[in-house]
Amino acid sequence: MKYLVTGGAGFIGSNFVKLLLAEHSEAYVVNLDALTYAGHLENLADIADEPRYSFLHGDICDSELVDTAMEGVDVVFNFAAESHVDRSIIEAAPFVRTNVLGTATLLAAACAHGVRRFVQVSTDEVYGELPWRDPAASDPSALRFTEGTPLSPRSPYSATKAAADHLAIAYEKTYGLDVIITRCSNNYGPYQFPEKLIPLMITCALADETLPVYGDGLHVRDWIHVSDHCRGLLRAAEQGESGRVYNFGGDSERTNLTVVRELLRILGKPESLIDHVKDRPGHDRRYALDSSRANSELSWTPRISFEEGLRDTIDWYLANQDWCRVVSFNSL
């Protein structure tokens, strides 16, 4: 089986490429990545010499390159995206180009080459926001996003991801392309670029710098370890039904402030390092996913608790501070 993984040098993509190669001895993986600020070959240094893996440097908006990359491909996993909300607020155009036009380019090439299955990797942010609730309170009736929740994106990033999802479903309905869409809650784990919450807070704490927390810090996110997400993606590709959306949540709702305080506790750093900064525009108050479809149809559940995953993630960043310095320098 030949797989095309776009954005495979990024955080989730690089973890997925390694899992795919480990789980499927017959897999041959082509990784197409533009190596923008968040994509780094350092993330894949341990498989650089793997004969079942090849890297192709390029842009998913380049139709000629994409056409070449798609030759003989059985399954596509599209991770390639501009993904940081803050950056999308500053400048939306790169998000429209990569997330919308790039996905359209990939879908057209997949149709032309008769690809068996196209997996569009999306986000829970396309659903908008949920009513706030205290994650510490036991409330089994609390609302969560289901696959049937209407899309209501509230940032340029989430709007472009929603547009890409609509395009993917349109290709399934119009052209008969076998498409699956996956939507996931907040990922964390090794190789995450240090602008995202958990690695940013770790690197700031290690340097005894202030930890910037938006607003009151009570925004709620459902956290999932990247390895659990990657297992879900494999299950969706292997067992999912064409035209379906599958949510992958970690069942680990936490406020941002709770996450930061726990991180400081593990590192033995004082909470006085926390600095509440001006909230960003359109900051969604709460996300949480209902993963019951993935549970029932894919036999998938998250395995790694947030407590275990956070400790392992902190240990990884402690052991890989050189990686942090290299990727931060290369992104300048």
pLDDT digits (tens, 9 = 90+) for 185-222: 999 999 999 889 999 999 999 999 999 999 999 999 99
Q: Cβ neighbours of residue 129 under 8 Å, at least 6 residues apart?
A: 154, 284, 285, 286, 287
8 A C-beta contact, residue 128 and residue 153: yes
The per-residue pLDDT for 140 is 62
The answer to whether residue 210 sits within a structural domain is: no
The answer to whether residue 209 sits within a structural domain is: no
Can 124 be counted among the known catalytic residues? Answer: yes
From 82, 125, 222, 253, the catalytic residue: 125
Number of folded domains in the chain?
1
Residue-wise pLDDT for 117-130, tens only, equals 999 999 999 999 99
From 33, 59, 124, 228, the catalytic residue: 124
The answer to whether residue 36 sits within a structural domain is: yes
Q: Which residues is 55 bridged to in the sheet?
A: 31
Single-letter amino acid code for the residue at 11: F
The per-residue pLDDT for 139 is 74
* Residue where the block lists tokens 């789980």: 23
Residue-wise pLDDT for 143-186, tens only, equals 999 999 999 999 999 999 999 999 999 999 999 999 999 999 99
Give the least confident one: 34-43, 91-100, 303-312.
34-43
The answer to whether residue 17 sits within a structural domain is: yes
- CATH number assigned to the domain comprising residue 88: 3.40.50.720
Q: What is the pTM of this model?
A: 0.95
The per-residue pLDDT for 331 is 57
Q: Phi and psi dihedrals of 176, rounded to 5?
A: 75, 15
The per-residue pLDDT for 322 is 85
Can 297 be counted among the known catalytic residues? Answer: no
Can 125 be counted among the known catalytic residues? Answer: yes
Distances (CA, A) of 90 to 159, 188, 218: 15, 24, 23
Alpha helices in the chain (DSSP H): 11-23, 63-69, 85-90, 93-95, 103-112, 156-175, 197-206, 226-239, 256-267, 292-298, 306-319, 321-330
Residue 329, pLDDT above cutoff 80: no
The answer to whether residue 84 sits within a structural domain is: yes
Whole-number Å distance between alpha carbons of 96 and 160: 6
Residue 248, pLDDT above cutoff 60: yes
Whole-number Å distance between alpha carbons of 152 and 134: 23
From 3, 53, 127, 157, the catalytic residue: 157
Residue 96, pLDDT above cutoff 90: yes
The answer to whether residue 230 sits within a structural domain is: yes
Q: What is the mean pLDDT of residues 78-107?
A: 95
Q: For residue 141, what pLDDT band results from cuts at 50, 70 and 90? A: low
Q: What is the CA radius of gyration of the chain?
A: 19
Strands 28-33 and 53-57 come out as parallel
Query: What is the average pLDDT score of the chain?
Result: 95
The boundaries of the domain holding residue 142 are 2-192+224-252+285-305
Residue 315, pLDDT above cutoff 90: yes
**The two structure tokens encoding residue 122:** 């999306």
Residue-wise pLDDT for 60-70, tens only, equals 999 999 999 99
